[in-house]
Amino acid sequence: MGNLINKAVDDFTVQAYDQGRFREITREDTLGHWSVFFFYPADFTFVCPTELGDLADFYDDFKEAGCEIYSVSEDTHFVHKAWADASDTIKKIRYPMLGDPAGVLARNFGVLVEEEGQALRGTFVVNPEGKIKVYEIHDMGIGRNAQELLRKVQAAQFVEEHGDQVCPARWKPGEETLTPSLDLVGML
C-alpha cells in the first residue's frame, strides 16, 4: 500500500442511512468542509457499536469543528436502518452511515479485505478540497477513540491554516505550537 497523504478522494456515489431517511451521498457532498471517513467491518457486531457510539457522543464537537463524519461499512443502507431500529447505541447516531456493499469506497481507500468482504478499521481525515490529510488503519479487533480522532482533525485544521507552525504530541486547540526553525533543531 502506498502513501495516501494528499491523495484526492476518488469520485463515488453511495446510498446512506441518515437520521431516519435514505439519501445519496457523493464525493461532491463531502467537499467544502472537513470530513472523516470512518470504515468499520460490519453492522450487528461487537467492537463496531462501541466506536460508532463513541463518535455519536462527540458528534457535536466534530460539527463545531466544521467536520462531518461518514461511517462506512460493506453493509447496505437498509441494514444500517435495521441496526438503528434494533440498537439504542446506533439509534443515537446523527451522522450519515454509508452503505458500500460493492466495496467501491473501501477499495478506493485501501481498506477492503476482499476474501472477507469487510473493511479494516480505517479512519481518514479529508480536507475541504477532498484530500486525505490524516489516516490510520487498524486490524478488525482494535477499536478507536473519538476524542483522539477529534484532536487529529483539529491539528490538521490548524496546520492547514497556519502552514508555518506544527502541532506537537498531545496538542489541543489553544495550546502552544512549534515553529520549525534552525534554532529549534536539537533543542526539544
Helix axes 47-57, 146-161, angle to 10 degrees: 50
CB 121 within 8 A of CB 41: yes
- One of 14, 16, 48, 105 is an active-site residue; which one? 48
Strand ranges (DSSP E) for the chain? 13-18, 21-26, 34-39, 67-73, 97-99, 112-113, 118-119, 121-126, 132-138
Alpha carbon 178 to its chain centroid, in Å, reads 26
Is 48 labeled as catalytic in the residue annotation? yes
Catalytic residues, by residue number, are: 48
